Amino acid sequence: MTGHHPVQLPTGFRASGVTAGLKASGTPDLALVVNDGPDHHAAAVFTTNRVEAAPVTWSRQVLADGRVDAVVLNSGGANACTGAQGFLDTHRTAEHVADVLGVSAGDVVVCSTGLIGELLPMDKITSGVDAAAAALSPEGHEAAAVAIKTTDTVHKVALHAGPGWSVAGMAKGAGMLAPALATMLVVLTTDAVVQPGDLDAALRAATSVSFDRIDSDACMSTNDTVVVLASGASGVAVRGEGLATALTAVCSDLARQLIADAEGAAHDIAIEVVGAASVDDALEVARAVARNNLFKCAIFGNDPNWGRVLAAVGTTRAAFEPTTLDVTMNGVRVCRSGGVGEDRALVDLTGREVHVVVDLHAGTEAATIWTNDLTHDYVHENSAYST
Amino acid sequence: MTGHHPVQLPTGFRASGVTAGLKASGTPDLALVVNDGPDHHAAAVFTTNRVEAAPVTWSRQVLADGRVDAVVLNSGGANACTGAQGFLDTHRTAEHVADVLGVSAGDVVVCSTGLIGELLPMDKITSGVDAAAAALSPEGHEAAAVAIKTTDTVHKVALHAGPGWSVAGMAKGAGMLAPALATMLVVLTTDAVVQPGDLDAALRAATSVSFDRIDSDACMSTNDTVVVLASGASGVAVRGEGLATALTAVCSDLARQLIADAEGAAHDIAIEVVGAASVDDALEVARAVARNNLFKCAIFGNDPNWGRVLAAVGTTRAAFEPTTLDVTMNGVRVCRSGGVGEDRALVDLTGREVHVVVDLHAGTEAATIWTNDLTHDYVHENSAYST
């Protein structure tokens, strides 16, 4: 975790975070990240939710040519389910950023997060963009990361430093963390000299084993966006595997920070499935356990209820025999061969970290999904969010 | 709802409920239902969970020839994930019932419910069976329904009376109510004269539109069983549609009672999807909403958060256009054409009943899933269940 140390932008970037007045709390709510080049390569992945917010529809178009000059992000409103007016507002936001920065609106990514179904106050957006542009700085990474928080209790940043180049990242997200894509807002920046095709491939490789493998509450957002910008300002050419490794390191770091800050969570839970016939089988089983409300409540209660693990495994189509399943919880094999194993009283769940290993005894593949417990605080936060 | 009125068994049946000492609470925990004939026709549906409890494995075999003389049910232990010993215990339970009643063990259905992963105390089971056999009575329906309760706050019974014949039903279940089959224990009894083939078809028709359409927490049990017994004692022949209608009425009544008593629930929620291209589409959409924890928390908070409904709908593969979706909550069309509709402040969610209508505008089919909200009490009950 690097979240508590300031993480600087790579060379070629400036950023800022300001208070536009979108949030009732009066905390920062508008961020700007600008790529000053010389390269302006970019790639992105978006939510797979068919009900997508206006900024997602817009930004998909922006990414079509692989060039991005700036990313503007706001908290305090998702601009989702806002119809034609919502899309016009996103377009107008991009136009205003473009005017202020002297770039093309078609090269400005827009990200929004907050409550669904409300129009953004555009006067505050435009004055906020003006203030953010005035505040742009090579030291602005942390301020930008702070301004995109919603129910996040901490801002999230991460860094991977290579020889003469680096990748930095900022992320927000504390709920609706489920996969089938990154489910949060993430901006990654690198000063490496990269080929656009390499950038896209490396980003997809990185997100598939990081953000796609966290599953806090099985809920998929309408606004999720992960965008990576490459300035080439370091002059160091990086490609293929090296780029993917660096992006994966930063994405994995951010993903763990997101799970650690998930709404109301009291335990961080790693569901590791081993002995699977395929990675897909391992992921299906791990996700079925991670999404089981009864299991998640049991962990909240420090209860090593392995029966609920087996009941969840039994709902999948993965290759396994019920009579050969093993389940280990924090080092204690509480279920052996589908039946009672070591004494469940030996399992210590009082710490924050929980490690569940499910051995399918059906092959040699493995995968891990990271999730949280289901707590009173989760219910409280999510029953009071919009009121 | 007929749950608060005594429901008598149809002619040809006796039942009882006794305290065998399986539950620490000292409340009744063992029930017996006996079909004295002249017919002994039966049909059943079981959990589709691949990790199935020993009594489910046993009872599937019993049902193979369509004859059942008795059903023995216990709360206080699920006998699931208990290995070879667990199956031997189920077999021994059936043998003991058979000995006491003078029937064949192969005609005795066994149902168990309670915690997974613990062996049953067989001495208490056998002495409990003796006591239950001694207590058998044509007036024993209510006592049996009481003895199968686990976290249920009330026992559930229902009745459909035809001319000269009837169908009665008893059910238990307050959690792990999710479909892909009946997810609870249910015993249905009728004195109608029926053909075995008609009985099986009518049962499947009835459960597919009742128990399969309640989804409390998306969790599927290892023990779920719905069994119907026909004694023919009324001498009234009933077949086909009439039988299906009667079974559906009783199953729907019991299903609503189960949802109304779901663990910790504060709202009963009907998710009605209309304008669907197919019933399957309607069910997929309704279930996606019913399983969305964020939506369920919002309802707990009396918050008409229609954005969470749309975000859930967007995760499905059903035919619809995001820009034509309408959502109505307790009569107020809060979302129109995928955007903001009537004032959400007009929605009154302070009562227990919540009716959400999602119009896909993609066809003429419709379906409803019944679910609950996600509450502090759900988290509390399910984090403390085994401790």
Q: What is the ipTM of this complex?
A: 0.80
Q: What is the mean pLDDT of residues A118-124?
A: 95
Per-residue confidence (pLDDT) for residue A293, from 0 to 100: 87
Distance from CA of B387 to the nearest CA of A (A): 7
B206-244: pLDDT as tens digits: 998 898 888 777 777 788 899 999 999 999 999 889 999
Residues A42 and A170 in one domain: yes
User: B64 CB near a chain A CB, below 8 Å?
Assistant: no
| Angle A64-A68-A73 from CA coordinates, rounded to 5° | 105
User: Would you place residue A126 in the very low, low, confident or very high pLDDT band (cuts 50, 70, 90)?
Assistant: very high
Residue reference for tokens 């966006």: A225
Q: Residue B281 and residue B362: Cα distance in Å, rounded?
A: 10
- Using the beta-carbon criterion (under 8 Å), do B379 and A384 form an inter-chain contact? no
CATH of the domain at A336: 3.10.20.340
Catalytically annotated residues of A? 183
Residues A223 and A297 in one domain: no
Task: Name the residue among B116, B374, B375 with its Cβ closest to that of A307.
Answer: B116
Alpha helices for chain B (secondary structure H):
54-63, 83-101, 122-134, 141-147, 196-208, 240-260, 279-290, 293-300, 306-313, 376-383
Per-residue confidence (pLDDT) for residue B174, from 0 to 100: 64
Q: Pick from B10, B377, B75, B2: which is nearest to B228 by CA?
A: B10
User: Would you place residue B385 in the very low, low, confident or very high pLDDT band (cuts 50, 70, 90)?
Assistant: low
B4 assigned to some structural domain: no
B3 assigned to some structural domain: no
- Using the beta-carbon criterion (under 8 Å), do B384 and A81 form an inter-chain contact? no
- Using the beta-carbon criterion (under 8 Å), do B298 and A218 form an inter-chain contact? no
A15-67: pLDDT as tens digits: 999 999 999 889 999 999 999 999 999 999 998 888 899 999 999 999 999 99
User: Would you place residue B18 in the very low, low, confident or very high pLDDT band (cuts 50, 70, 90)?
Assistant: very high
Residues A58 and A128 in one domain: yes
Residues A163 and A65 in one domain: yes
Q: Residue B360 and residue B362: Cα distance in Å, rounded?
A: 5
- Using the beta-carbon criterion (under 8 Å), do A387 and B301 form an inter-chain contact? yes
B2 assigned to some structural domain: no
Q: Residue B317 and residue B282: Cα distance in Å, rounded?
A: 11
A162-175: pLDDT as tens digits: 999 999 999 988 65
Q: What is the mean pLDDT of residues B126-134?
A: 98
Residues A57 and A146 in one domain: yes
pLDDT averaged over every residue in chain A: 91
Element (H or E) spanning A378, and its range? helix A376-383
Domain count, chain B: 2
User: Would you place residue A383 in the very low, low, confident or very high pLDDT band (cuts 50, 70, 90)?
Assistant: confident
Per-residue confidence (pLDDT) for residue A182, from 0 to 100: 33
Span of A20-34, A37-51, A209-223, A265-279 with lowest mean pLDDT: A209-223
Q: Which domain-ending residue is among A215, A239, A260?
A: A260
A53 assigned to some structural domain: yes
B88 assigned to some structural domain: yes
Which chain A residue shows the shortest CA-CA distance from B323? A83
User: Would you place residue A132 in the very low, low, confident or very high pLDDT band (cuts 50, 70, 90)?
Assistant: very high
A382 is in an annotated binding site: yes
Residues A164 and A241 in one domain: yes
Residues B206 and B312 in one domain: no
A337: exposed, middle or buried (Cβ count in 10 Å: 0-12, 13-18, 19+): middle
Residues B43 and B142 in one domain: yes
Residue type, B362: A
Contact B11, B139 (CB under 8 A): no
CB contacts of A310 in chain B (<8 Å) are 51, 80-81, 116-117, 222
Per-residue confidence (pLDDT) for residue B336, from 0 to 100: 94
| Angle B222-A270-B79 from CA coordinates, rounded to 5° | 20
Contact B160, B32 (CB under 8 A): no
Which chain B residue shows the shortest CA-CA distance from A345? B387
Residues A357 and A234 in one domain: no
Contact B256, B145 (CB under 8 A): no
Q: Which domain-ending residue is among B206, B239, B260?
A: B260
B148-199: pLDDT as tens digits: 988 888 999 999 999 999 999 999 886 554 433 334 889 999 999 999 899 9
A8 assigned to some structural domain: no
Q: What is the mean pLDDT of residues A126-153?
A: 95
Q: Residue B93 and residue B87: Cα distance in Å, rounded?
A: 10
Residues A154 and A297 in one domain: no
A2 assigned to some structural domain: no
CATH of the domain at B218: 3.60.70.12
Per-residue confidence (pLDDT) for residue B178, from 0 to 100: 47
Residues B221 and B279 in one domain: no
Residues A172 and A205 in one domain: yes
- Using the beta-carbon criterion (under 8 Å), do B380 and A384 form an inter-chain contact? no
Q: Which domain-ending residue is among B213, B231, B260?
A: B260
Residue A160 sits at φ, ψ, to 5 deg, of -130, 120
Q: Which of B360, B379, B385 best tests the A interface by mutation, with the highest count of A CBs <10 A?
A: B379
A302-342: pLDDT as tens digits: 999 998 899 899 889 999 999 999 999 999 999 999 999 99
Element (H or E) spanning B41, and its range? strand B41-46
Q: What is the mean pLDDT of residues B86-96?
A: 97
Per-residue confidence (pLDDT) for residue B295, from 0 to 100: 92
Domain that holds residue B306: 268-383
Q: Pick from B213, B170, B149, B176: which is nearest to B51 by CA?
A: B176
A3 assigned to some structural domain: no
Q: Residue B336 and residue B344: Cα distance in Å, rounded?
A: 12
